[in-house]
Amino acid sequence: MSTPTLPEIEDPHDAPGWRASRPEDEGALHTQVLRELNDAGCVLHVGGSGQRGVAATLQLVDVLQQQVVLASRDDGIAVARALQARPVWAAANVRSLRVQFALAAACAAREDFGRPGAAGAERFLIQARWPREIYRTSRRHAPRVLRGPRCSPVARIHHQAEQLGSTREFTVLDLSEAGGALLLPAGMAPPLVGSPLRRIELELDDEHIVFTDALVMHATPLRRGTHRVGCRWQGMPAAGQQMLRRWLAEAGRYLPALAAMADD
């Protein structure tokens, strides 16, 4: 059996580009991410930061009991060694992101099934508390379809006000360190001026992604029912600000339009 390629485990407190979400303010997002990992059968890398751990899959996402259960077919010594890390992390690739969360109070128990002694007849169930924080960043080391340097950045906005619906992807028309302008498709009502846009994934290109919130500054009608929505960034982490500044200096000249955003 071939060894699965596991996503790298990093320390999100030290590595740049990670953004955290917490149950108290983004509980629905926690549940959605965990259930998506569970339903898709994504392979998670369980272990310590910078170390080779074990492969596992989510088996149970228990919202009521506030716990998660993973299963690993690695040998017992490898599982025990992975759970000795402090903290124990679980990392996975999902769509264009890498996600990572700590497995607090993790413990493992062997489960036998199938014919005794047969290959793959045992696995280890790893039980842990509901993650307090889920970290996410771009899949920098994952194979991607390249859009090319002359394509505009895109902004993915998750679970916004009702007029924007659930997760949507918008073309970025203008971009600066202070804010940006998004293209709102025809048939979609523009957000109100002054309303917040939260949990934006600003994908500059296939190797650079910045997480931020924003405040809507204006919504200007364009042709054929589309709108230009100007917004100002809010709460962008310092690492994200540095990445955006460097990207604008190096690749910003390829944008179709690059404005100072004085009015946005």
The CATH homologous superfamily for domain 154-254 is predicted glycosyltransferase like domains (2.40.10.220)
- Among the ranges given (15-29, 73-87, 203-217, 247-261), the one the predictor scored with the smallest mean pLDDT: 247-261
Q: Where are the domains of the chain?
A: 19-138, 154-254
Confidence category of residue 56, pLDDT binned at 50, 70, 90: very high
The CATH homologous superfamily for domain 19-138 is Electron Transport, Fmn-binding Protein; Chain A (2.30.110.10)
What are 111's strand-pairing partners? 123
Question: How many angstroms separate the CA atoms of 10 and 92, rounded?
Answer: 11
Q: What percent of the chain has pLDDT over 90?
A: 30
| Mean pLDDT (whole number) for 106-111 | 94
Confidence category of residue 142, pLDDT binned at 50, 70, 90: very low
| Mean pLDDT (whole number) for 119-123 | 71
| Mean pLDDT (whole number) for 50-60 | 92
CA angle in degrees (0–180, nearest 5) for 91-34-56: 45
173-201 confidence digits (pLDDT tens): 888 888 888 988 888 888 899 999 888 88
Bond from prior residue into 87 cis (ω within 30 degrees of 0): yes
Question: How many angstroms separate the CA atoms of 92 and 69, rounded?
Answer: 15
At residue 19, does pLDDT exceed 70?
yes
Question: How many angstroms separate the CA atoms of 129 and 105, rounded?
Answer: 6
Q: Is the pTM of this model over 0.85?
A: no
pLDDT of residue 239: 84
pLDDT of residue 147: 40
Task: Give which of 94, 101, 99, 97 is closest to 202, Cα–Cα.
Answer: 97
